[in-house]
Structure 1
Amino acid sequence: MSEAKSYSLIDIKDFDKVQSVVKKYSLLDSNWPVVYFLRNRTNGYVGETANVISRLKNHGNHVMKKDLKAITIILSDRFNKSATLDLEAQLIRYLQADGKFTLLNALPGQTRHNYFQKKELYEKIFEDIWQEFREKKIAKKTINQITNSNLFKYSPYKELTETQLQAISEILDFLLDDSLKVMVIEGGAGTGKSVISSYLFKLLNSDLTEYEEEDLSEEFVNVLEKVRRLKERRTINSKALAISMTSFRTTMGKVFSTVPGLNKEMVISLSNLGDLSYDLIVVDEAHRLKQRKNLAYHKNFDEPAKKLNLDPATTNEMEWVLLRSKKAVFFYDQFQSIRPTDIDDELFISLKGKPETKVFHLKEQLRSEGGTAFSEFLGNMFSKQLRLNEKFILPKGSGFEFLYFDSLKEMRERILDKDHEIGLSRLIAGFSWNWKTKKKGATETFDIEIDGIQLKWNSDKPDWINYKESNSEVGSIHKTQGYDLNYCGIIFGKEIDYDWGAKKFIINKKEYKDVNGKKGVKSDEHLLNYLLNIYKTSILRGIKGCYVFAVNPGMKQFLKAHVISFNL
């Protein structure tokens, strides 16, 4: 490795033709582990091997890879088998999300290798490799740009946690069991439900001959065996990912369009079920399935219902899924139901109790760097199970931030600073201000005014989170649910307060401006549950931190009692 770069840990060699590697490979140790990237102008393939000559000969006989002529080989005197497997998986994730090449890889196997100096040394090696890939025009985007992108966050090219992989295994058992019709997977915000969905679809559409089982964990080998059995049975041919929320459905469609074997037509609206049936329907964000109550647009609900010979006044989208699928998987969280148009929790309670239904629980918090302890703290905080002045204790060594702000001006400035620093940092508010700027011909320039700060609600963009002007606006729950943010600043609006004498949350219905969010609600208690769900869900958008501010005095005092103040 005499030609190593100045940082000495890695050596990257480029060849225009694969055949040149065989001729010139005397320069390299052919028994030393390497990582390589094969490509032509549009497609690519990432691999690792300890015998690159033999591996490239095999690729030359592969119907799709034989057209990949150029190759980049990555070597290091620090490499071992575990390191190259880890680097291979990491390059697959980042190159797929970078988007310059369409990767022909199957999903990275779940290897779970831990090795000496994994974090200290090999993370720096990856940064050096990626920088050189950009200099060589192999990659376009920075690591930070990719990490913030939806294509990265919801990509199936992930190494799953043990619980997520167990969920995949349980879903496959469900698909293989003819006595079962429905599976309900329960998990709170940030427990990795959407990644499991995309991973499942890619796994069911992968070439299983790509895997070398000696490099894989026993759990993943068992998963592959179940997929093989399912493919042999040929019972799951047509499948769809159904998402009720338009914005998030658009996002997942874009993700699917970048993954070989998947396409955006697999991601459907529930209204499609008036015309189409599937062997398998997976419903993400199932807590947002609709019923007719208070729907603003009846046509999109009534027409599919009538095609299914159902009464629009009494049916719901869960019923449509059950009618139009041989097998159905619902990813569900009762604490993310935010409107009376969302179907009643009682329907899921009934569904879970049926003999043809299987239930699985996800509890591990994967989005927030505050971890499961933070999500549990929030649950206790909003259910009033905390002692007075009991605050969230940060995990040791964590940079996670959960801070209370007395000043909206200061909170907004901090969000803007974080957005400038690492991106994806947004303000979110409770719906206690009218959306005046939305009206056609509106002359108003702002919707929200607090302490002299004037702000607009989110613009009506399908992918508002990534819209370039969104850091100057305020997102509602309807634009942010389902998405990840690095930092979020939550404004508790005029519609919610805390009564210290009665020791309870109180609502002011006149100040809650989401008309379809309160009309027809059974009771004030039900409305309060929707509001608390909105705020808990919004807080858990933040990966690296969340800031909170309240308009009403009682709510200010409640937050100060349980959240560390910014100015301390």
Structure 2
Amino acid sequence: MNKKYNTKIIDLNTDGTLNTTRLSRLEEETLLQNRDIIYVYIGDKHCYIGQTKQLLKRHKQHSGSNEPNFIMSKFKKLVILYGQLVDKNLDYLEKRLITLFITDNTKHKRKIEIDNKNNGNLSNHQQDSKELDALVITPFWQDDLFELGCLNNRNVSYLKRRILAKYSPFMDLKPEQQQMITRILNEGGNFLFEGGSGTGKTVLMTNTVAQLFDKYNGEKKIGVVVKANWRQNAIRIFTDYGISKNVTVGTWGMLLNTEEKFDYIIVDEAHRLPRFYGKLHPSERKYFKGDKTKTSLELLSNITSSLILFYDRYQSIRPSDIPTYIYDEYVKQKEFKVIPLVTQFRIDIHDKQKTYTADDYIKGIRYLLQISDDDSFDKSLFTNSDPDSYFGVSNSIEELFIYLNRMDNLISDSQNRVIAGYAREWVSKTDKNCYDWIEGTNQWQWNSSHEDWMNKKNSREEIGSIHAVQGVDINCVGLIIGKDLTFRNGKVMASKENYFDKNGKPVQSEFTESEFTTFIKNIYYTLMTRGIDGIRIYIEDSHLKQYLLDTINA
């Protein structure tokens, strides 16, 4: 197959000029003066990626006094990328290469500094992004750039699965996503983006921060609220992309602790913001100063003129989370601009001869959990007998680990984990020699850490709880639905005696079975929507398992 792009490598002379002796006359006239190209300056410790139509003029600008921060002596070579699939796709290719370079340089001893970390122009590429990645980015990265010795990782698929690439603030957004961010940039005020799992809330969040930072050249104070299990990832993303000046990343309490005012506060996983509640941890409860009417929404509103929330009402999992009716009242009272998110970006179903989509899966699990009564989903998704289909039912915990081991070998550089509802006591928390999950001769412990658990060395051999994986993408999931969820009298119901998250149970004086059931259903809805490439579930309660099999006609 003929390549849809070409490359040229030009050496830099000691005085910083271009050594064009190996260029033909036509190449000089086109590539240097009148051609859409991506260019990459490469040195021993520095790299610069850009785009231009007039390379020679742009090179002189870089060398001139108007760009004092660009030091030409850092670089030895200039790589030019051009061709049919480069034309009119410059913005996308530039941003994708910057993302890959930054991701490639994380957690490696040999680093190349990426000198340009701006998020460029709004990408308006006309080509399909998957085609551009396959026909340009991947071969250019793996064949051309890697041969120059400026990369740590040759494998593009590995880098794309890394968290920096997945949530990059240079992520190429869909037009409707960019329109949402443009409203924030132009209108100001309070916004609520509401959508289910996998509708791109976190990608929108990182890009919102980046574009606000870029618009005001880092002069506006931006607070970013994330859950503790994702804080280090968020800090790493913004720091590595050069978006750190006046950007504070932390939990909601950390932002209040700064005793500062923010121009913008952006909240990821806003459904987990708490109200005053007796079982709330003292480190958070102190901010309410004993006022039982207060919520963290109100406290955050007091320190910003623009509160931007990314919210999913079906992922509220503890009684301390602000109830949906309070959320709805507050959003209406404060005149939030409410923007729905409906497109599914996480779940990627590749089943053979499929007639269904990711939306069928989301509708299906909501129906099975009796969160929704909408049964307009394609049931064949849940009965596909192919061993590598997206969904399947297993007969033991051991089978879940066997499935993930197969996926480890089948999908390169994938992150696959077994996760579960809080249906076992966490005895290994205080005694590292004890095991929380026992099945025959097999035994496993709960996640040894909540924060950044997915990247811990031993996480593949552990079982992750909701608090370790909420808001996290996993390639393939093995899910244990414990006996904290059962089926009685035609209803999916929670079982209080089989649920062991002490802070997840309502206080006795406020306990209602229906509210508690809602929390447990939301937990399993959240866990069942973590998987990108596949999920297998093991159901401990025999009544619930039979109900599920009967419902999907398995």
TM-score after normalising by structure 1: 0.83
CA shift at 1:24, angstroms?
3.7
Q: 1:512 aligns with which of 492, 499, 502?
A: 499
Q: Which residue of 2 aligns with 1:427?
A: 418
Distance in 1, Cα, partners of 2:133 & 2:425: 51
SS at match of 1:19: coil
Distance 1:468 1:50, change over 3 A: same
CA shift at 1:109, angstroms?
3.0
The aligned amino acid for 2:186 is D
CA shift at 1:365, angstroms?
0.9
CA shift at 1:45, angstroms?
2.5
Once the two structures are superposed, what CA deviation does each residue of 1:6-44 show, in whole Å capped at 9, x if it has no partner?
A: 989643515345834264474434234332112455543
The aligned amino acid for 2:204 is I
Q: Which residue of 2 aligns with 1:104?
A: 116
CA shift at 1:379, angstroms?
2.4
Distance in 1, Cα, partners of 2:187 & 2:389: 37
Residue pair 1:36, 1:47 contacting (<8 A) in 2 also: yes
Distance in 1, Cα, partners of 2:319 & 2:138: 48
CA shift at 1:163, angstroms?
2.6
Q: Which residue of 2 aligns with 1:113?
A: 125
Once the two structures are superposed, what CA deviation does each residue of 1:429-476 show, in whole Å capped at 9, x if it has no partner?
A: 01110111111x4532x2112355322111125210111211111100
CA shift at 1:526, angstroms?
0.9
Distance 1:295 1:59, change over 3 A: farther
SS at match of 1:324: coil
Distance in 1, Cα, partners of 2:280 & 2:332: 32
How many correspondences in the alignment?
A: 516
Q: Which residue of 1 aligns with 2:233?
A: 251
SS at match of 2:236: helix
SS at match of 1:360: strand
The aligned amino acid for 2:415 is L
Q: Which residue of 2 aligns with 1:455?
A: 444
1:156 and 2:140 aligned: no
Give 1:366-405 correspondences, 5 Å limit: 366-370=345-349, 371-383=358-370, 384-386=373-375, 390-392=379-381, 401-405=390-394
Once the two structures are superposed, what CA deviation does each residue of 1:373-421 show, in whole Å capped at 9, x if it has no partner?
A: 43233223322543899343799xxx86112222332221111222344
Q: Which residue of 1 aligns with 2:100?
A: 94
1:293 and 2:293 aligned: no
1:15 and 2:11 aligned: yes
Distance in 2, Cα, partners of 1:193 & 1:389: 26
The aligned amino acid for 1:493 is G
1:548 and 2:532 aligned: no
Residue pair 2:10, 2:18 contacting (<8 A) in 1 also: no
1:343 and 2:322 aligned: yes
Q: Which residue of 1 aligns with 2:198?
A: 190
Q: Which segments of 5 or more consecutive residues in structure 1 lack a partner in the other structure?
A: 1-5, 207-226
Q: 1:558 aligns with which of 544, 547, 550?
A: 547
Distance in 1, Cα, partners of 2:104 & 2:10: 20
CA shift at 1:78, angstroms?
4.3
Q: Which residue of 1 aligns with 2:68?
A: 63
The aligned amino acid for 1:192 is G
Distance in 2, Cα, partners of 1:157 & 1:89: 6
Distance in 2, Cα, partners of 1:77 & 1:7: 9
Q: Which residue of 1 aligns with 2:213?
A: 205
Once the two structures are superposed, what CA deviation does each residue of 1:232-257 show, in whole Å capped at 9, x if it has no partner?
A: 9x9x82111112x2111221111111
Once the two structures are superposed, what CA deviation does each residue of 1:297-334 show, in whole Å capped at 9, x if it has no partner?
A: 313431x344xxxx354422112101111221111111
The aligned amino acid for 1:282 is I
1:530 and 2:519 aligned: yes
Distance in 2, Cα, partners of 1:388 & 1:172: 37
Residue pair 2:382, 2:392 contacting (<8 A) in 1 also: no
CA shift at 1:154, angstroms?
1.6
> What root-mean-square deviation, in Å, do the aligned CA atoms of Structure 1 and Structure 2 show?
3.0
Distance in 1, Cα, partners of 2:541 & 2:141: 48
Q: Which residue of 2 aligns with 1:477?
A: 466
Residue pair 1:363, 1:372 contacting (<8 A) in 2 also: no
The aligned amino acid for 1:505 is V
The aligned amino acid for 2:332 is G
Q: Which segments of 5 or more consecutive residues in structure 2 lack a partner in the other structure?
A: 106-110, 350-357
CA shift at 1:76, angstroms?
5.2
SS at match of 2:184: helix
Distance in 1, Cα, partners of 2:477 & 2:246: 29
Q: 2:149 aligns with which of 137, 152, 166?
A: 137
The aligned amino acid for 2:367 is N
Residue pair 1:12, 1:75 contacting (<8 A) in 2 also: yes
Residue pair 1:416, 1:471 contacting (<8 A) in 2 also: no
Residue pair 1:457, 1:476 contacting (<8 A) in 2 also: yes
Residue pair 2:8, 2:80 contacting (<8 A) in 1 also: yes
Residue pair 2:92, 2:172 contacting (<8 A) in 1 also: no
Distance 1:563 1:410, change over 3 A: farther
Residue pair 1:192, 1:366 contacting (<8 A) in 2 also: yes
Distance in 2, Cα, partners of 1:346 & 1:496: 24
CA shift at 1:149, angstroms?
1.5
Distance in 2, Cα, partners of 1:456 & 1:416: 18
Q: Which residue of 2 aligns with 1:212?
A: none
Q: Which residue of 1 aligns with 2:243?
A: 261
TM-score after normalising by structure 2: 0.85
CA shift at 1:63, angstroms?
3.0
SS at match of 1:113: coil
Distance 1:47 1:393, change over 3 A: farther
The aligned amino acid for 1:280 is Y
